Structure 1
Amino acid sequence: MFTGLIQTVGKIKRVNKQQHHITLTVSVEDTDRLKGFKVGDSMAINGVCLTATTVEKDCFSVDVMPVTFQKTTFSQMKEGTLVNLERAMSPNDRFEGHIVSGHVDQTTRLIQKMKYENSLKLTFYYPPELKGEIVPQGSIAVNGTSLTVDDVKPGTFAVALIPHSLENTNFDRLVKGDYVNLETDVVGKYVKSLLRTTIHLNEEGHHA
């Protein structure tokens, strides 16, 4: 499990595509973030939970299945791409973000990027597949970063980033048209599923 609080930004060092999987190697300038990190440990890379297959002092590698590669922004990554990194949460850690599983629901594109007072407002296309899962003041993970939804309009939603978030993520590199990984709030998913089940049962009872 993750919290969506990005710990550092890494850089794609190598993308090795093979027949049944893709290997990503990520370099980390802040090597202290890899202390104690070992083969078999989990790392969220731009919000995607992956398992380390090799670990060195300043870099690590993970294997990505083709379906994950195609479903996420990994398909657009190349050497030098900056990625948000968060190690799996320890039982002793403070829980300050929101529950992030590391399983990306959809990708979406940036529609607008504008300064808003001392923050940066990012507006994204609202994928219809996520209808009802993105709500004003709700939580959402964008490239693995726990953010609060600023507003929702027909076909779009927006988030606002404070200076700290900008300094510690890869969002300052985003430009209009870029794609990001989305993971909606797990609580919202359960509520949505429960409502669907309730409606279905009511309809069955009505027709019985």
Structure 2
Amino acid sequence: MFTGIIEEIGTVRSVKPGRDAATLEISASIVLEDVRLGDSIAVNGVCVTVTEFTQDAFKADLMPETLKATSLASVKNGTRVNLERALRADGRLGGHIVSGHVDCTAKVRSRRPEGNAIYLELAIPDEFSLYLVRKGSVALDGTSLTVFDAGTDSITVSLVPHTSASTILGSKMPGELVNLECDILAKYAERMLQPSAGRSDGLSLGTLKENGFA
């Protein structure tokens, strides 16, 4: 579990492709301060497992599904990536609950500076628009952001100067892809409202009243 508060920008040192899979080696410093084998690190919002590490780099394997569903399939030597260690139980939840399980990739449709902010509009698949609402939370390349505006096929986010400087989002240009993870709480809520086995209706006001919740 992560918070979407990026700790540092790492650099891909090598990509070793395998059969429908790959191994990444990434240069880093902060996320390696207390690293152990088997630890989880979010790389551009994708939760990966540390398989090897040194004082200045770590390795992680990418599964076929990860390569199909995320932008990590296109990284190469020298690519800069957002990094975050898993949330400690005694840490602050500075962003929002991020699982590290990317839902889809979104393409930057436009980039517009306004005052000290940068507005990014991103095209999103229709099937995920249900989970993205104005003033709600979204993780883009692992970065916790507030949705500034939401349409049926796009969202707009606003990057403050700190976010632009401390994450790779500040350099994203139209046409580039980012990993998108919807707010997991929205997905749970939607699931609860759907009919399930043994029930003719999903969660409703009537159901809540019958069970003493309303």
User: TM-score, with normalisation over the residues of structure 2?
Assistant: 0.89
The 5 Å alignment of 1:176-187 reads 176-187=174-185
User: Deviation string for 1:160-202 (max 9, x for gaps)?
Assistant: 010011111001221110011010001100111122228x824
User: Deviation string for 1:115-144 (max 9, x for gaps)?
Assistant: 022111100002112131000000000000
Q: Which contiguous aligned blocks of 4+ residues in structure 1 show a shift greater than 6 angstroms?
A: none
* In structure 2, distance between residues paired with 1:154 and 1:33: 37
SS, match of residue 52 in structure 1: strand
Task: Identify the residue that residue 201 of structure 1 maps to in structure 2.
Answer: 200
Task: Identify the residue that residue 206 of structure 1 maps to in structure 2.
Answer: none
Task: Identify the residue that residue 208 of structure 2 maps to in structure 1.
Answer: none
* In structure 2, distance between residues paired with 1:18 and 1:33: 26
User: Deviation string for 1:135-154 (max 9, x for gaps)?
Assistant: 00000000000000000124
User: Deviation string for 1:30-85 (max 9, x for gaps)?
Assistant: x2431111211110000000000111111100001112112100111111111000
User: TM-score, with normalisation over the residues of structure 1?
Assistant: 0.92
1:5 is aligned with what amino acid?
I
Task: Identify the residue that residue 12 of structure 2 maps to in structure 1.
Answer: 12
Structure 1 residues 20 and 156, CA gap change in structure 2 (3 angstroms): closer
1:20 deviates by: 5.2
The 5 Å alignment of 1:1-80 reads 1-19=1-19, 21-28=21-28, 31-80=29-78
Alignment length (residue pairs): 200
Matched, 1:175 2:173: yes
The 5 Å alignment of 1:119-130 reads 119-130=117-128
Q: In angstroms, what is the RMSD of aligned CA positions? A: 1.5
* In structure 2, distance between residues paired with 1:74 and 1:160: 24
2:168 is aligned with what amino acid?
N
* In structure 2, distance between residues paired with 1:168 and 1:48: 18
